Amino acid sequence: MKISKKKSWKLMRNLIYSLPAIIYLTIFFYIPLVTMIMYSFWHGEPLYRVVRVFTLENYVRFFTEELSQNVFISTNIISIVTFLIILLVAYPIAYFLARMTSGDTGLKIILLILIPLEMNYLIRIFAWRNILGENGLINSFLITLGLIDQPITFFFHSIYAVIIVVLHNALPYAVVPLYITIRSIPENLYLAAMDLGSNKLSVFFRVTLPLSMPGIAIAFLFIYIPLMGEFAIPALVGGKTYMLGNMIVRQYLTVGNWPYASAATISLVSITLIVMYVIFKLLGVRRLYE
Amino acid sequence: MWWNIGSKVKGVSRLALVIVLVIILIGAGLAAYSFMSLPAQTPTTSKVTTLGKLTAFVWEDFTVPEVFNPLTEKYPTLTIENSIFTSQPEMLAKLMGGFKADVVSPCIDFLPRLIEQDMLQPIDPSRLSNWNKLFKSLRDYPEIWRDGKLYMVPTAFGLQAGVTYRKDKIPLIDKWIDIFNPAYKNRVLILNDARIGIVIAAWALNYEDPWNLGSQDLQRIKEFYKEHRDVILKFYESDIEARELLASGDAWIIAGSGPAHSYWLKSEGIEAEFTLPEGKGIGWLCGLSILKTSQNFDGAYLYIDYFISEEPQYYYAYEWLYGPTNEQAFKKLPPEKIAESGIVGPEKLSEVLPLIDPPNLDEWLQVWEEIIAG
């Protein structure tokens, strides 16, 4: 009896503690989400014409139409390639900070890496326009050095510009989880591997890399999920690059077919949730909490 | 002592703290909300009793201090609340969502949608002292009337869907097909608008009546864009961005623009030129309408009458290069300003295509999306 009273008191206390979060999420997340789900099952036409009858046509269209399939595939390719490039840059940084610095030096450098995130997201994108443009910083610099005669144009208003800007924006989101996981690998595992005859390369591939997989998984989620819905970067520096986020924004704001836009959004959320689940399962993210 | 409670029953103490914090937060939120909800406690309280409050759901143009402040000075007892939209689809969506206002500023292409949704109140032109000062051709413009009733008072007009190009980078552009020259690889900006984008390609392909394109024609236009995709730098949405790209030299051609770009670029020392290849372009006409949800018709008429009066019309023409609908304002413009800026008289509107919806708009939107997605 005593225990049960204590338990119910604890439950009550937890409920009160979580009340602000519940209220916040209900108003700003669950209600909009439920509204969007409802819209996705209604019949819609351009210019905000909505007929409130149940239909699956929006989902059928999203998954079967050539246009959305192509955009979905190209967005996935861009997101995965971008993630791999970020990983190639972030991993050595995280490895260096976790394994080759002493004391809290690594942490201090991590803080320095995080500082650019304090700057407004759009301002960061606009800054890149001035760096990558035909008369931008990079071209001016290369011309001044005499390395090129004509400005390089391929990395402005192109897919390359999208990758460069995402790399800059997302790098901290990859470095931090990788740093944490690499740092948490016990030192004696390295020593044991060395004792058993492994060289440094072998230690990396057989100890460090497998044990840093949860960090890679977290980095993947931090980068892949936002990129799947990204629309500002392609719109501002991507030229003709057209990603899923751009398609959804266009359906909401220009075409005005909210049911289809909602179905595309819900489909995107569902797909990313499935990807998240698979990644968590495959790469052993759970280990981070144990 | 009360502070000892914490050490004795730690959980309760924390709980009490959290409850107090939550109460404070909710209290602060409610206080802030009620503060924001309070009617403005300003000297305007007494003004409300005379001309009342007017909600104007308009483009940002109508709120610039140079024009808006003289209006509030002229009618000090009229309290105007501006709500701004940045695109006509946004305007329509908000109105369909139940937004209530007194006046709205549509353009000729969206006006039929508002009329068909039964959102607009017919306007009595005899209540506008400046109505007869508008160009006759604009007063009689067919699209602003429906069943003998006036639904929009024209406030500005001009040309769009022309070409602005860098004279120092490329030779004269005579024909619409010229902008798709492979030599201009990644140098062309096309307006990201289904109607204008498709009409531009239709002109390049020598279609006589671009507003009447069937499925096969649209597929041909899609193929045309596919073949010439390399010349396009991007499908632009912001005029400022397009101008910036032309100024920086990243782009050489803006297709879908009005004459204002070249005027502003020239004033910055950039060799830009505006042209309507083959004399083909699209005209726009925007104005003010009264919504059925209006609670202040007197205020709405005063508001509209002010914006078609000479002073604001002259300001928009001189500073923003809009075609003035008020004839006196047009006549007052210095001839050199008209020559430099590309401001045209209303007779030009009859020489170009009006911006309207094609009968198969849904198909146009779908094809355009396929074009921009590549």
Closest CB to B361 among A46, A239, A250: A46
pLDDT at res. B35: 45
Q: Are B89 and B61 in contact (CB under 8 A)?
A: no
Of B197, B45, B374, the residue nearest A241 (C-alpha): B374
- Give the pLDDT confidence score for residue B36 in this predicted structure: 47
Instruction: Tell me which of A269 and B22 has the higher pLDDT.
Output: A269
Encoded tokens for A170: 């997302």
Taking only the tens place, the pLDDT of each residue in B208-236 is: 899 999 999 999 999 999 999 999 999 99
SS (H, E, C) A148-215: CCCCCCCCCCCHHHHHHHHHHHHHHHHHHHHHHHHHCCCHHHHHHHHHCCCCHHHHHHHHHHHHCHHH
- Name which of B19, B90, B362 is nearest A46 (Cβ-Cβ): B362
Residue of chain B whose alpha carbon sits nearest to that of A248? B369
To the nearest whole Å, the CA of B80 is away from the closest chain A CA by 27
Kindly report the average pLDDT of chain B as a whole number.
88
Q: When comparing pLDDT for B150 and A198, which is higher?
A: B150
- Residue A289, phi then psi, degrees to nearest 5: -95, -5
Min Cα distance A183 → chain B (Å) is: 34
Instruction: Tell if the CB–CB gap between A13 and B15 is shorter than 8 Å.
Output: yes
pLDDT confidence of residue B15: 64
Q: Which residues of A touch B362 (CB under 8 A)?
A: 45-46
Instruction: Specify the residue for token string 């001309």.
Output: B51
At A39-56, the pLDDT tens digits run 999 999 888 889 999 999
Contact list in B for residue A19 (CB cut-off 8 A) is: 22
For strands B78-84 and B52-58, give the pairing.
Answer: parallel
Which positions in chain B touch A46 (Cβ < 8 Å)? 361-362, 365
Tell me what pLDDT residue A104 has.
86
CB contact under 8 A, B92 and A16: no
Please give the share of chain A, as a percent, with pLDDT higher than 90. 60
Neighbours of A252 (CB within 10 A): 19
C-alpha pair distances (Å), A26 with each of A31, A58, A201, A263:
6, 26, 50, 21
Tell me the pLDDT tens digit for each residue of B23-47: 767 766 665 555 444 444 344 444 4
Q: Which residue has the higher pLDDT, A83 or B21?
A: A83
pTM of the model: 0.80
Nearest chain B CA: its distance from A68 CA (Å): 9
Give me the residue label for tokens 């005499």: A146
What band does B308 get if pLDDT is binned at 50, 70 and 90? very high
Q: Which of B373, B37, B327 is nearest to A240 (CA)?
A: B373
Q: Which residues of A have a CB under 8 Å from any CB of B?
A: 9, 13, 16-17, 19-20, 45-48, 67, 70-71, 133-135, 153, 156-157, 235, 238-240, 242, 247, 250, 253-256
Domains delineated in chain A: 41-104+167-289 (1.10.3720.10)
Question: Which of A19, A70, A134 lies nearest to residue B22, judging by beta carbons?
Answer: A19
pLDDT exceeds cutoff 60 at A75: yes
Whether residue A248 is predicted with pLDDT greater than 90 in this model: the reply is yes
Mean of the per-residue pLDDT values of chain A: 90
Given a contact cutoff of 8 angstroms between Cβ atoms, the answer to whether B263 and B256 are in contact is no
ipTM of the predicted assembly exceeds 0.95: no
Compute the nearest-CA separation of B248 from chain A (Å): 7
Contacts of B96 in chain A (CB under 8 A): 48
Q: pLDDT at position A103, please?
A: 83
User: Can you tell me the mean pLDDT for B239-257?
Assistant: 91
Given pLDDT bands bounded at 50, 70 and 90, which one contains residue A152? confident
Closest residue to A46, CB basis, from B234, B365, B374: B365
In chain B, the domains with their CATH numbers are: 49-156+284-343 (3.40.190.10), 162-280+355-373 (3.40.190.10)
Q: Which of A43-52, A72-81, A261-270, B149-158 has the lowest mean pLDDT?
A: A43-52
Q: Burial, A256: exposed, middle or buried (Cβ in 10 Å; 0-12, 13-18, 19+)?
A: buried
